[in-house]
Structure 1
């Protein structure tokens, strides 16, 4: 189980992701310089309900299976770009947020 400090750091990053942008679980871990995609996923599954959880996706642009439909709807409403044959994957090249203030 991640520390309380790690949980707070993950949630702070997620809160900062601008509307229409996303970060992958691994992007968040890399940005924090700690943990990995699974640790970030654990934090999101246990504590992510109060932050814009739909802006955290898999590295290939797919939202987590447990709330994929709702996440896609919310991301589309924010104007996030999509791709793929079914149009259900966020275009990571265009939508990925790097954590900077210029996004």
Structure 2
């Protein structure tokens, strides 16, 4: 993977594209910067979970879990599904999984 290198002779369009991607990356990183949100994503890697299941897994109150899920939903990282009174969440795409793999490599894996 090659990281972009900004140079003085870059076209304005190239710089704007890098800035746009940096803005998206910063928004994504802010969304996962909360321990609760990060743990929710960790649990959702193994598959869809109900809000109640997430409450139990996180040992957290429903209001706190719902607040964090709302932020993750707003950022497009999770997708809800209603079944009767229960609401289930799953990862929206592969981006959170890839990020969690990187976090695991950096902070959890013995090297």
TM-score category of the 2 structures, normalised to the smaller one: 0.3 to 0.5
TM-score using structure 1 length: 0.40
Give the number of the structure whose residues are more often strand, by fraction.
2
TM-score using structure 2 length: 0.37
Give the number of the structure whose residues are more often helix, by fraction.
2
Does 1 or 2 have the higher relative contact order (CA < 8 Å, sep 6+)?
Answer: 1
Larger Rg: 2
